[in-house]
């Protein structure tokens, strides 16, 4: 009996040692994992369907993932990004973060890190930064690229005006609706800078294009067919002021 008791006690001690060893091992792995990552907190007006687990890209490489989103009292969304340790020194005060469709996971969103020109300073762990849009990045990169972006808007309207004369009016109306859908999506994720520019430089020409289309439909006795176009224009205007 004594021998059996000794064996049982020895077995229990061995189990305790193994359990302690496993606990220390797991703790060490956890600490190594934490040491291998750091976080940047990005504040957005609109999260654009982003969710926990979505990827973070830089130069077509996956450099991290999105954490649990938090909404503050002002309706803004704080998005924590966990960055792999190999890339932490690439995240600087000149890094910008914009939400885009994930190029490798259809139906999912992602965060893309873009670098402005210059040698930036690495951001400390836990830094809070403002989120960006493609247009706000253009603004920061300078007037030359801003002019290029503005030209894209104007070229789109020029193309629509030319196609008004070339295409069948029904086809042109569809083109116009699709173009407005694209602008609505861009405006929803853009800041005040792009909205001000769009309202001043693009909206007047767009309204004229819609007016021309509605006038043609009226002359054909098809005023009802212009209803979707009017509704799309109103949606765009509401987006500008949302």
Kindly report, residue by residue over 20-52, the tens digit of the pLDDT: 454 454 444 444 444 457 899 999 988 888 999
Residue 182 in this model has a pLDDT that exceeds 90: no
Beta strands in 102-137 (DSSP E): 109-115, 127-130
Predicted pLDDT of residue 164: 57
Query: What residues contact 136, with CB distance under 8 A and at least 6 apart?
Result: 96, 190, 191, 193, 194
Q: Is 6 exposed, middle or buried (0-12, 13-18, 19+ CB in 10 A)?
A: exposed
**Would you place residue 117 in the very low, low, confident or very high pLDDT band (cuts 50, 70, 90)?**
confident
Beta-bridged to residue 131, according to DSSP, are none
Mean pLDDT value across residues 230-237: 89
Its pTM surpasses 0.75 = no
Please give the DSSP secondary-structure letter assigned to residue 167: S
How far is residue 176's CA from residue 158's CA, in Å, rounded to a whole number? 12
* DSSP for residue 201: I
Calculate the average pLDDT of the chain: 77
**Percent of all residues in the chain with a pLDDT value above 70, rounded to a whole number:** 68
């Amino acid at each position: 009996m004594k021998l059996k008791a000794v064996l049982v006690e020895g077995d229990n001690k061995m189990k305790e040692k193994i359990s302690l060893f496993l606990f220390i091992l797991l703790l060490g792995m956890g600490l190594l994992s934490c040491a291998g990552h750091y976080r940047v907190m990005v504040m957005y007006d609109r999260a654009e369907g982003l969710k926990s687990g979505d990827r973070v890209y830089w130069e077509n490489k996956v450099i991290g993932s999105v954490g649990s989103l938090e909404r503050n009292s002002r309706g803004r969304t704080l998005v924590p990004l966990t960055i792999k340790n190999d890339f932490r020194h690439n995240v600087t005060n000149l890094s910008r973060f914009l939400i885009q469709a994930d190029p490798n996971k259809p139906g999912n969103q992602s965060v893309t890190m873009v670098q402005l020109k210059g040698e930036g300073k690495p951001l400390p762990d836990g830094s809070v930064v403002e989120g960006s849009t493609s247009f706000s990045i253009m603004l920061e990169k300078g007037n030359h690229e801003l002019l290029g972006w503005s030209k894209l808007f104007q070229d789109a309207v020029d193309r629509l005006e030319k196609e008004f004369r070339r295409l069948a009016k029904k086809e042109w109306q569809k083109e116009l609706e699709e173009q407005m859908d694209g602008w609505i999506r861009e405006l929803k994720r853009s800041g005040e800078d792009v909205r001000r520019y769009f309202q001043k430089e693009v909206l007047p020409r767009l309204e004229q294009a819609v007016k021309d289309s509605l006038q043609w439909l009226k002359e054909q006795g098809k005023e009802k067919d212009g209803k979707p176009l009017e509704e799309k224009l109103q949606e765009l205007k509401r987006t500008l002021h949302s």
